[in-house]
Every structure is written in C-alpha cells, then in structure tokens.
Amino acid sequence: MIAFVKGKFVQKTPAHLIVDVQGVGYELHISLNTYEAIQGKEEGLLYTYLQIKEDAHVLFGFSEPAEKELFIHLISVSGVGAATARMMLSSVKPDELIKIIVHGNTAQLEKIKGIGKKTAERIVLELKDKLAKMGPTTNISPLINNTLDQDALNALVALGIGRSAAEQAVKRVLTAEPGNSQVEDIIKKALKLI
C-alpha cells in the first residue's frame, strides 16, 4: 500500500495531479477540496489510497488524513464507488459532509451529483455512528490555547461521548461550580451527568 507521496507538483488540474517523486511521476485523482488546499504550492505531501481493480490501479490523493479516512468510509458503503466518493468530497467540505451524515440530512446528500434517495439513506444508515466517533479529526478543537471547558470537551469526545451530550454536561458542571479549575474534576463530574 502506498500511504503517501511527497514530491514536486508537475501538473495540476481540479481532478488530477501528477507528483514527481525522485523522477517517478505518480498520477493522483484528487477532489476539489484537495485541489484548493494545494493551490500556490510547488511541492508537498499527499496522503494516498490505492484502489486495485481488474482493469486498473488508481491512486487517489488527499491533502489531509481526515479527508482520506472519510473517503475510505464512503467507499465502504454499498453503491458508493470511488468516483462518487470523490464527487461528494468535491461538492462539500469534509467537515460539512460529516455533519450532514451524522445529522441524517439525506435531502442535502441527494443534492450531490450521483447520489439518489436510496444511496443517501444507505450512507446515513451505515456511516452515522462511525463518523460520530471520528472525534479527533472532526470534533476536537486544536490543542493550542484551549480553555478548561474545551479541554474537558475534547477529552469527553475522545472517550466516545457524543459532542452535544458532552457540551451539555460540561456546561452543567461549570454552571454548578464556576470556580472549578481542574480539568480532571470537570471531566469526572461531566461523566456522571451523561
């Protein structure tokens, strides 16, 4: 498996990218999201997924690991191929797409080219719980300059607690004890409320 490629961007289009890795050119199929992320860059690293079919080996490139992980989840759904998954990632930002699926918004999914009613329902049914647990990539705030409530919330989400339930529990704890300055205490008390 090719986990990533790092090299010079020789040719860029909104759908494809050729990366020169020490004299070998790799053609990567990319989403518009990745295309936007690499604009203005002459070289870089892209995370990859190699799809092996009877008639072709196709390499897909992603600007960040979260987008690659979402792509893999999408193609795991029956009826969603790599081309459809790439279209979904080109139509909607990965974080927004995760929110749409987790909230069960099938009408929004149907607006994406290639997604019908049954496929949208299948995507929500099969991925809703999996994507809700993708906490570290989608639900957790950056660790820089976090406040106590953000640290507590991040910890609860990392433990597998749903973001909204975790937010409510942390708010209740901080409302009851506004002077609490120990993140561990906030987490323990919030867990009792969930």
Range of the domain at 37: 4-62
Query: Does 55 lie in the same domain as 34?
Result: yes
What Cα–Cα distance (Å) separates residue 192 from each residue in 29, 61, 173, 188? 47, 43, 10, 7
Query: Does 99 lie in the same domain as 75?
Result: yes
- 3-state secondary structure at position 35: helix
Q: Is the dihedral of CA 148, 150, 154, 159 positive or negative?
A: positive
Question: For residue 87, what is the domain's CATH number?
Answer: 1.10.150.20
Task: Tell me how many domains the chain contains.
Answer: 3
Mean pLDDT of the chain: 86
Question: Can you give the pLDDT at residue 178?
Answer: 77
Which of 89, 109, 134 finishes a domain? 134
pLDDT tens figures, 55-104 = 999 999 999 999 999 999 999 999 899 999 999 998 888 989 999 999 89
Which of 44, 62, 80 finishes a domain? 62
CA 192 from chain center: how many Å? 30
45 closest CA partner among 12, 3, 6: 6
Question: For residue 152, what is the domain's CATH number?
Answer: 1.10.8
Cα separation of 98 and 191, whole Å?
Answer: 25
